[in-house]
Amino acid sequence: MKSKRKTGVIFDKVGVTLPVVKSIRPTIKDNLINLMVSNDHDDYMVRHYKGQRYGNIFDFRVSVDTKIGYFNLKVSIYPRCKAHNFIRFEFNPTKLGTDGELKLRRLLIKILGMKMARAIYYEGRLTRVDTTIDRHGAVDNCYMYMKAANCSKIIRGTDGEIESQICGSNRSNIRPTLYDKTKERARRDRNRGDDVERVSQFRLEIVVRDLRFPMADIHDKLDLSFKKLSFFLDDFLDDEYFDGDFLAAVQADGLNAALSGLSRNDRTRYLRRLQQQYACDAFNLRRLTIKPGVDSLMFLKSTKYVPRAAAP
């Protein structure tokens, strides 16, 4: 009997920008500087530097009462491209906890003022959402494929095993990654001197950029790009139906890269064969729900928000 449990999609990172009139911009920068130099706090540190896309970046590391113990809030102002919104916030909702939600709201109020802080959820434009699905336990050896992507990448470990698969490029608005989270954590444990035996965990992550709508609309407008993904058991590597050069390209660079090098007819033929004989659903993508991710942003929703008057 197939499980009816839904697969929860988590928001691992959220980026949002906000337009600010020129007359208020110097005040916001002064607020950030004051937060950085103030001695009237003991629960955060701030690093200030200049970035490639923004003239000023303030990276807050805030202590919180969670297992991880902290969260980061990156605030960027004065974009190099004048078409971009003045200020950008980036944070990981999963690291906040109740304590972090309260502290993040307080920081936003100190930076923007009460009225603008209340408007972020409704008026800020989402620029990035990292959506993730975790699977605990073994995942069948498989290759990932995403519709409409022309490139892919395979990262292998020291023993030649696949550690990560990526579809798309660094500039792609949609970029999925499948990787072995257990090995990533094992390396981190070794660096810390910990000897912890962990249950196998695999993570499927899709970075979605340039969404152009606010958090208030994310439930209705977020494109669940997981539905564009397919997984195929690696048994096809022994199938003589496929050309040897194609199979070598798959093992070197992944399915999308290998298929993009074929003629249209061969690509269609190979995909049909894969779908008919080797398809698998390693992450139960047919039953997705983004409710966990949406719920993690609800702390920014304000019942006292007042929409700005429309321009005459």
Pair 106, 205 in one domain: no
pLDDT digits (tens, 9 = 90+) for 209-239: 989 899 999 998 887 678 789 999 999 999 9
Contact between 207 and 173 under an 8 Å Cβ cutoff? The reply is no
Domain boundary among 69, 95, 123: 123
- Contact present, 64 and 102 (Cβ < 8 Å): no
CB 95, CB 69: distance < 8 Å: no
- What's the confidence (pLDDT) of residue 311? 41
Q: Are residues 96 and 245 in the same domain?
A: no
- Backbone φ, ψ for residue 241 (5° rounding): -65, -30
Q: What is the pLDDT of residue 310?
A: 47
219 domain residue, yes or no: yes
Asked if the structure places residue 85 within a domain, the reply is yes
Answer yes or no: is 96 within a domain: yes
Question: Is residue 48, in this structure, part of any structural domain at all?
Answer: yes
99 & 224 share domain: no
Pair (118, 136) in one structural domain: no
Q: Has residue 236 been placed in a domain? A: yes
Provide the 3-class DSSP secondary structure of residue 305: coil
Regarding whether 194 and 45 lie in a shared domain, the answer is no
Which residue type sits at 19? P
- With respect to residue 307, please indicate whether it lies within any of the assigned structural domains: no
109 and 229 belong to one structural domain: no
Summarize pLDDT for 24-77 with one digit per residue, the tens. Answer: 999 999 999 999 998 888 899 999 999 989 999 999 999 999 889 999 999 999
pTM (2 decimals)?
0.86
Residues 279 and 232: beta-carbon distance below 8 Å: yes
- Which letter does DSSP use for residue 84 in this model? S
Of 99, 123, 147, the last residue of a domain is 123
Q: Which domain holds residue 36?
A: 20-123
Beta strands in the chain (DSSP E): 7-8, 10-18, 44-49, 54-63, 70-79, 87-91, 125-136, 142-146, 152-156, 162-167, 174-180, 201-209, 229-233, 279-280, 288-289
**Cα gap 295→240, rounded to integer Å:** 48
135 and 274 together in one domain: yes
DSSP character string of 193-219: T-------EEEEEEEEE---S-GGGHH
pLDDT tens-digit readout, 97-124: 999 999 999 999 999 999 999 999 999 9
Q: Same domain, yes or no, for 144 and 279?
A: yes
Q: Reduce the DSSP state of residue 291 to 3 states and report it.
A: helix
| Residue at a domain's end among 98, 123, 148 | 123
Strands 70-79, 54-63: pairing is: antiparallel
Q: Please state, in angstroms and rounded to a whole number, the distance separating the CA atoms of residues 19 and 86.
A: 6
Domain count, the chain: 2
Binned at pLDDT 50, 70 and 90, residue 192 comes out as low
Q: Is residue 4 part of a domain?
A: no
109 in the same domain as 167:
no
Is pLDDT of 6 > 90? no
More confident residue, 257 or 282: 257
165 shares its domain with 276: yes
Residue 280 lies in a domain: yes
Q: What mean pLDDT is reported for the chain?
A: 89
- Asked if residue 57 and residue 157 are part of one domain, the reply reads no
Q: Are residue 253 and residue 104 in the same domain, yes or no?
A: no
Residue 65 near residue 92 (C-beta atoms within 8 A): no
**Beta-carbon-side half-sphere exposure of residue 310 (alpha carbons within 13 Å):** 1
